[in-house]
Structure formats: structure tokens, C-alpha cells
Amino acid sequence: MLGEEGFDNVDPFIPVLVPGYSEKEFESCYLYYKDRHWLQHPHRIVTQCHGSEGCVSRDFGHGSVVCECNSTHCDSVGSVTLPPLGQFTSYLSSKAGSRLERSQGQIRKTSTGAALRLTIVPYQKYQKIRGFGGAMTDAAAINILSLSPGAQDQLLRQYFSSEGKRYTVVRVPMASCDFSTRLYTYAESPGDYKLDNFTLSPEDTKMKIPLLQRAQALSPQPLALLASAWSAPTWLKTNGALTGKGSLKGKPGGKEHKAWAQYYVRFLEEYSKHNLSFWALTTGNEPSAGRMTNYSFQAMGFTAEEQRDWVSLDLGPALHASSHPHTHVLILDDNRLLLPHWAKVVLSDVHAGRYIHGVAVHWYFDGVVPAELSLATTHHLYPEYYLFGTEACAGWSPLDRGVKLGSWERGEQYAHDILQDLNHYVVGWTDWNLALDLGGGPNWVKNFVDSPVIVDAGRDLFYKQPTFYSMAHFSKFLWEGSQRVGVSASQKTSLETTAFIRPDGSMALIILNKSSSEVQLEVWDPVVGYIPTAAPAHSLITLAWKTH
């Protein structure tokens, strides 16, 4: 019996008030807390265990909490259904411990008189969303599969189901990267220009492919898979190694460049045998890395000019002639500080441009170059090509390295970067590893970083970090086809915001408050009225409402 007091001071013959749990919810809470010997004091439980869906929080001393999940319990906000016209719904995550906490309110016909008003400007229309997601690296697959089958399913549901975050994009490395346990490619026979011996690795067939198939089965819509290669096989490269400074031998149009283009086609063909088709591929991960002497892990150098000519002479024609001619090609796949220069070189060329669909950007060093100068300038120069975020992770910087369980600061970094990208024409944002271990790996070169999901295989559980919820505030609400619209503030504010009309005509507004004080405000949507709300200190809010 879950009373408001501990059993030690309750008369067993006097009825006590019990919250209205269903049998399933009661059993889930009972088993969870019995396991931790907390049933003696059930009044401590009720605040944490909101049925089977509440966050079981853990504080590791990094500013906020993680939510702990196992095979039988994981917090979930469920499918989002909006209240009737005239009401709004709000989802709050905060440093104080809220995690997608849902509340509802009435839209008013008159102003609340709040000093700060955010006005939705629906006639100012911008880009449409393509999707949000993460990467199924070897490391992510190893970590997911290190859990029991029940916990694996729980983790995949958290990412891909309509009850979870509704991820629609999965980036898949072609062969090994630093987040692998060994160095390998799919064509290890020197001189095999026809790629007769091209073979997927056990990492693909035993780990990544089965997990992608399971993710697809959970997703309410087809997943948009995105392929990126880190390096060509050693025998195709100037330095004869997968790491360090090196590029393709020969020139665009030559046999090495043709073989490398064909390698992409063969990858698409092999995955399609497993009923997995790719929405897009990138021209190669971080081409600037392969031009750095002694670069420590897999990389291959391209200049913008070399990439332009390889696409126009080799990759574009190879894809066009293949059974996958509609696969999108995204150039760059590197940091935005290379923009707009890289785009100017590649997209100004009509021969390369006709095969290209978008520009892929990574988030590293975003603080160095303003989004306005890089992203917005590129968009205005080449509006027919979309901008897409293909990699981001916390804990990569030498000054702030590895896993930090419960770091709210990193959650804010994610939210800030996504908001800034969306407000500068980016149409999607892809996180790096879907899951890592407590040490931020495995990674063969010990380049350990953080992830929104951290797996503790020894205890058969995983932790959902603040970054997990940061992304959910976007991915769960901004469905493919949602279109950004204008937002104007009545006065200068430190709040960061973005607004979208969703495909069904409803509105979503996301607000980040990085300051240490609460901000009272109202939102005015001229179509429906005034929404009174507040952004607590260090919080992220998604507001959503119907407009008809």
C-alpha cells in the first residue's frame, strides 16, 4: 500500500489515501523500489514515480540529473497529442530536474501585460525541417548490444518510437572510424579497382544492420539513413594509411577516384540487400582532417576543388548510373568555419552542382565563426541547396573532456547550437554516437567523448543525459515538413527562441533560458490569442497549440 506516510507509523486498520496507479504502474514502481530497499518509506517514492513513466533521477554531481532506465522501467513522455483549440500544452526540462514535464493552459483573448511579449509572425516563412537523429557507429552498436534484449528494446524505443524522441535520421559510418575497435575498410585487396572483393564487415552484418532494422520497425515513418566514409582503403591513398595526412592517388576522373566512387555505390547495394536504403550520403567525413600531418585517426584529405571535380567526374555519374540514382549528395561534412568558401568553390560549378543536394556541417568550433557569416551567407548565395547538421557531441574539447553524467551545461550547449542552426536555415541536426559506455567509448584511439545515452553494461542499465532531452524538445515536435516562421520580441531578451508551423497547421515554439533567473513572458499568436507562461532559470521549453 503506497500511503502518504511510511508504514512504520500508520495504523493498519485505518484506510489511507493511495494515488490512483494502474496495476501495471504499481507493479513497475513496486519492483523498482523493492530492488533498492526503499519500500519502508513510500512517501519518498510518490514524488519520483509518476506511474511507470516517471524519471528515476540520479545526481552524479555535474549540475543536474540523469534519468536511469533498465529493461522494465524508463521515463517516457508518450505520444504528443495537442489539447483542443483555445488551449496550449507546455513541455519543460530544467537544471532543477524537470524532464519534458507536461502541463496545459488556457489561451487568453487579452494580453496578460507581461513586460516581455514574443509575437509569432506566421507570414515570415523560412526553411522546412527534414529531421533529427544520431549516428549508429560501431561503438554505439557495441554498447546497445551489451545490454539485455529487454534493455536494448527500451533504448531503441526511447530514440525511434512515437512514444520516444521520434528520431528519423541515422548517420552510418561506411567502415571504421575512431569509434570502432579496429581499423578496416570494405575493400582490402590491393589493386582491386573493380571491387570484386568488396565485403561488408561483421560490424555491419552482426551489429549495425540488425539494430537499424529494429529501429526501422519501431519508427512510425521510414528512417532517413545517411552514409559517411572516413577513409578510402590504403592502396587507393597517397600515404598508404587510413590515418594521417593523405588523399586519393591520381586525379579526379582517374582509376583511383572512379574506384572510390564505385565503393559508395557498392555500399548502397550491399545495405539494400538487407532492406535498408539510404536517403543521402556525404562526400566524406571532415576532408580538412586528412590534410593535417600526423592526424591520429581515419581521415582522407580533399580540397574544395578536388571535391568539386570528384563529384562532377566520378561520384555524380556513378550514382546516376547505379540502382540508387535518387540518393542525395551532401558536400563538406566538416565544420562551418569552411563556409561560405567551400560552397562557393563546389556549388558555383554547374557540372558538380547538378549532382548535389545539400551542404553538411559539423558543430565543432561553432563559437569561432558566427552563423550569420557562414550558414546564412551560404544559404543566401545558394538557396536551392539545403544545410544539414551531420555531427555534434559534447566532451570533445581537451578543456572539457569525456562523459559528464547529468551536465546541464552540455544540455544547454546542444539546445543553443540547434536553435542557432535552425534560425540560420539549417533543416536538420544529427548527434554523434547514439550510445557510449561510462568511459565515453569504445574508441580505438582513445578519443573519448560524451553521448546523450550512457550505458552501464555491468548493471544492465543506461542513463539519459540532459542532452538527450535537449534534442527531444526539437525532434519530438518538429516533424518533417514543419516550416520555420518569424518570432519577434517586444524588448531585448536573453531568451533564445524559434517557432515552426507543423504539417498539421499547429504551432511549436521552443524557448531556451540560459540565465539563472526566471523570465515571465507571454506569447502572442495573432491567430489564437495570448499564451501566459514563464521560462524558469536554466530551462528549455516547448510550447505547442492548435491554430484551427
- Residues annotated as catalytic are 286, 391
- C-alpha dihedral over 230, 466, 422, 221, to 10 degrees? 70
Give the contacts of 352 (CB within 8 A, at least 6 positions apart).
Answer: 308, 309, 311, 312, 316, 346
Region label for 516, one of left (φ > 0), alpha (ψ between -120 and 50) or beta (otherwise): alpha
How many residues in the chain? Answer: 548
Which cell numbers hold the place of 2?
Answer: 503506497
Name the packing angle between helices 209-218 and 138-145 (round to 10°). Answer: 70
Render 208-263 in DSSP notation, one character per residue.
IHHHHHHHHHH-SS--EEEEEES---GGGBTTSSSSSS-BBSS-TTSHHHHHHHHH
CB 520 within 8 A of CB 116: yes
In angstroms, how far is CA 516 from the centroid of its own chain? 26
Q: In whole angstroms, give the CA distance from residue 241 to residue 448.
A: 22
Catalogue the long-range contacts made by 531-535 (C-beta closer than 8 Å, 24 or more residues apart): 531/88, 531/105, 531/107, 531/108, 532/105, 532/108, 532/112, 532/114, 533/90, 533/105, 535/495, 535/511
- C-alpha angle 497/224/197, rounded to 5°? 140
In angstroms, how far is CA 220 from the centroid of its own chain? 17
Which cell numbers hold the place of 38?
Answer: 526503499
Which cell numbers hold the place of 163?
Answer: 512514444
CB 297 within 8 A of CB 177: yes
What are the helix and strand counts (H, E) for the chain?
14, 22
Give the contacts of 192 (CB within 8 A, at least 6 positions apart).
Answer: 198
Q: In whole angstroms, give the CA distance from residue 103 to residue 159.
A: 23
**In the 8-state DSSP scheme, what is residue 108?**
B
CB 264 within 8 A of CB 174: yes
CB 223 within 8 A of CB 475: no
**In the 8-state DSSP scheme, what is residue 424?**
T
Which residue's C-alpha cell is 534493455?
A: 151
Render 488-521 in DSSP notation, one character per residue.
EESS--S-EEEEEE-TTS-EEEEEEE-SSS-EEE
